[in-house]
Amino acid sequence: MSKRKSSNSGQTPDKRSRLSQPEPSEEDEKGYFSSGDGFSTSQSVTGEVGIIESISLRNFMCHSMLGPFAFGPNVNFVVGNNGSGKSAVLTALIVALGGKAHTTNRGSSLKGFVKEGERSLSVTKKEELISILDHFNIQVDNPVSILTQEMSKHFLHSKGEGDKYKFFMKATQLDQMKEDYTYIMKTKTMTQNTVEKHRETLQELKRKYREKEERYKSLASLDEMQQKLDELKNQMAWALVAEVEQEMKPMTERITAEEKATVKYDQKVEEWEGKVQEANRILGQLQDQLEGVAQRMQQLQPQCDELKSQAQARNRDLKSTEAGLHRKKANLRDLERDKDQLNKQIRELEHSISQTNSADTHARVEKLNHIQAELEQLLAKDRLGKMRAYEDRKKAQECCRKLQAELTELQNEEELEELSSRIIVCREEFEAARNQVLTHKREYEEAEQLSQQQREAFNSIAEEAEPIKKQLSNSDQELAKSKHYKKHYEEKRKAHVDMIKTLKKNLNEKDQVLQASIAKASEICPERLDVRKTAKSLDSEISCLRHKINTQQDQQGHRDTIVRQFHEAKENFSNIARQVKGLEAIIRQLTEIINTRHDDYAEVRMYLSVRCKIYFNSMLSQRGYMGKMTFDHKNETLSISVQPGEGGVSDMRSLSGGERSFSTVCFVLSLWAITDAPFRALDAFDVPMDMVNRRNIEC
């Protein structure tokens, strides 16, 4: 069996599952033993492949040149004196076949085998040697294949069951299988640890990869945002054009409407112009009528003035005569007072007359009565014409006072006569004044009547002018109103026309802006776009998108760096993921291999144990011995019991030297029988012999 045929492919099961595998029982081994009863140990097979044909030593150990040694296809003996190089040949064989220095028990390093003083050596590739060893199943480290002198002594003097079991394991390469199994388990554990570490690393790499992927994808979104920004700019350009056109549309419609409204203002101006002309015509007619009335009034004015002057003259005369009458009335009042005094005097005189009947007194009384009668008549006349004699009132009063004074003096005859004369004169003057007042009053009334008639005629003409003046005032107001409205509508028409001019000017300016916007939009986007959004909303979107782009560019950095980092992160993640996946596959394979090899190991161990028992008993039977081998794989012990001849079964430690040596040789031969090495080498083969057999060989 080749220890190097094992592969790393396969998976190992869990260690607990391995420990739970059942160990082969003694009955199983007995079954193998019974099945091998007919096995023959006498084989005469000639080696053909994997045998050593020759060996030579050059500058090896203490030998400059030793050999070459030619070997036959079967058993070969190398004999010689001590120090002749017999062990050196075996050591050279071990070293040449890739054995380690400590395996030879002659040094700790291969460089120690180079002859002292030599500076050159021949080196071959170990890979090629390993391939040869694997191909021919040459087991250099197997003590049964190449048994050195030290190993032989150690084996012979070893009495422990554990050492025998270890020798069995080493000879059958089961320990190598166990080591391989342990190595696979360690490899699996290390692989699992590596996988766990890789998984942790993978998570971090995955996080970085996702982060780089997001940044990489964001480049696409950045391109999309940039493309979207360009589209928004194109839409913005034509949206501005659409807004200008939209602004021009109501302006054009308003200009059209205002131009239509101009006709209304023209009609209003014409309407009020006609009203102004009509008002002027009516005003002219009224002014003509008023001028005719004014001419008639001017014609009557001199007559009215003359009659008024005459009436005023008559009025002055009347007032003058009335003033004289007033004076006369005053005189009459004075006369009345004088009358009262005179009556008193008369009563007194009558009284005195009644007392005196003289003729003189009687004459005076008559005279007094006569004066009193005249005075009463005068007073009566005065009452009738006191209004007419109002002008001579003062004169009459004066006369009356004088008369009263004279009456007072009539106590004497002389005073009474004088008073009567004066009363007569006063009466005449009063009558004359009254007549004059009446005359002047009549003349005044006639003049006043004529003046009144003339004034009435003048007023009649003036009254004819009043409605004309009123109509003239109304017409004048209507004219002013018409002129006002005419001016108002003319101003409104002018303002309206000016407004239309301003609107047209603004429209023209807006059209220039439109043409500039169209030219600019055509430069940005030659094909016109039908934009539904407003320029304000587009501007808001553009600002927001620019902010996002700038922020993302600041956060992400350069595009090439992002792409490179993304691919590096992706490659690292993919590599680790593949490694993890591969390691997981290896773990699965190792688990399968461990499971398989554990089962195979247990089966092979049981199989080899049975074969070893069979060969051991077969070897012992050649001398009539019987023996028993008990394997305790759980405790890793091997106990050997031998029954020499007719004696009882005893442990090898209780055997004699020859019996123990023979039993040991049988054990070694049984191990040789169950191993498939192409050749076997034994140093100092006389070591296991007893003295009798050794002497027989020497002889």
| Cβ atoms 51, 138 nearer than 8 A | no
**Please, which pLDDT band fits residue 476 given cuts at 50, 70 and 90?**
confident
In the predicted model, is pLDDT for residue 40 greater than 80? no
**Please, which pLDDT band fits residue 648 given cuts at 50, 70 and 90?**
low
- Express each pLDDT in 128-181 by its tens digit: 888 888 888 888 888 778 877 777 777 666 667 888 888 888 888 888 888 888
Q: What percentage of residues in the chain have a pLDDT greater than 90? A: 1
**Please, which pLDDT band fits residue 319 given cuts at 50, 70 and 90?**
confident
Burial 627-656 (b: 16+ CB within 10 A, else e): bebebebeeebbebbbebeeeeeeebeebe
Q: What pLDDT is recorded for position 676?
A: 78
**Mean pLDDT, residues 563-588 taken together:** 84
Helix axes 161-171, 657-674, angle to 10 degrees: 30
In this predicted structure, which of 98-112, 252-266, 310-324, 376-390 has the lowest mean pLDDT? Answer: 376-390
Choose which CATH entry (3.30.70.141, 3.40.1210.10, 3.60.110.10, 3.40.50.300) describes domain 51-137.
Answer: 3.40.50.300
In the predicted model, is pLDDT for residue 610 greater than 80? yes
In the predicted model, is pLDDT for residue 627 greater than 60? yes
| Cβ atoms 35, 46 nearer than 8 A | no
At 332, is the secondary structure helix, strand, or coil? helix
User: How far, in Å, CA of 499 to CA of 238, rounded?
Assistant: 30
**Mean pLDDT, residues 335-360 taken together:** 63
In this predicted structure, which of 140-144, 162-166, 482-486, 634-638 has the lowest mean pLDDT? Answer: 140-144
Q: What pLDDT is recorded for position 21?
A: 38
Mean pLDDT of all residues in the chain?
Answer: 75
Q: What pLDDT is recorded for position 15?
A: 36
Top pLDDT among 219 and 299 is at: 299
In the predicted model, is pLDDT for residue 652 greater than 80? no
Q: Which two tokens stand for residue 454?
A: 């003339």
- Express each pLDDT in 180-224 by its tens digit: 888 888 888 888 888 888 788 888 888 887 887 777 776 666 777
- Express each pLDDT in 520-556 by its tens digit: 888 888 888 888 888 888 888 888 878 877 776 766 6
**Please, which pLDDT band fits residue 18 given cuts at 50, 70 and 90?**
very low
Q: Which two tokens stand for residue 579?
A: 């490694």
In the predicted model, is pLDDT for residue 59 greater than 60? yes
Q: What pLDDT is recorded for position 651?
A: 61
Distances (CA, A) of 616 to 125, 566, 598: 40, 70, 26
**Mean pLDDT, residues 564-570 taken together:** 82
**Please, which pLDDT band fits residue 19 given cuts at 50, 70 and 90?**
very low
Q: What pLDDT is recorded for position 658?
A: 67
| Cβ atoms 447, 313 nearer than 8 A | yes
**Please, which pLDDT band fits residue 350 given cuts at 50, 70 and 90?**
low
Q: Which two tokens stand for residue 690?
A: 């007893």
* Burial tier of 148 (Cβ tally within 10 Å: 0-12, 13-18, 19+): buried
In this predicted structure, which of 289-298, 584-593, 633-642 has the lowest mean pLDDT? Answer: 289-298
In the predicted model, is pLDDT for residue 8 greater than 50? no
- Express each pLDDT in 260-279 by its tens digit: 888 888 888 888 888 888 88
At 412, is the secondary structure helix, strand, or coil? coil
Q: What pLDDT is recorded for position 523?
A: 87
In the predicted model, is pLDDT for residue 399 greater than 80? no
Q: Which two tokens stand for residue 187?
A: 């490899």
Strand 391-392 and strand 626-632: the pairing is unpaired
In the predicted model, is pLDDT for residue 657 greater than 70? no
User: How far, in Å, CA of 547 to CA of 526, rounded?
Assistant: 27
All residues at 6 or more sequence positions from 613 whose CB lies less than 8 Å from its CB, including other chains: 29, 32, 33, 628, 629, 670
**Mean pLDDT, residues 646-667 taken together:** 68
In the predicted model, is pLDDT for residue 387 greater than 50? no
3-state DSSP of 154-192: HHHHCCCHHHHHHHHHHHCCHHHHHHHHHHHHHHHHHHH
Q: What pLDDT is recorded for position 342?
A: 62
Indicate the residue type of 332.
L
Top pLDDT among 446 and 282 is at: 282
Cis peptide before 526 (omega within 30 of 0): no
Cα–Cα nearest to 614, from 552, 544, 674: 674
In the predicted model, is pLDDT for residue 74 greater than 70? yes
User: How far, in Å, CA of 414 to CA of 634, rounded?
Assistant: 216
Residue 327, beta-bridge partner list: 392
In the predicted model, is pLDDT for residue 335 greater than 70? no
- Express each pLDDT in 405-436 by its tens digit: 544 544 555 555 665 666 677 667 777 777 87
Residue-range domain boundaries for the chain = 51-137, 197-493
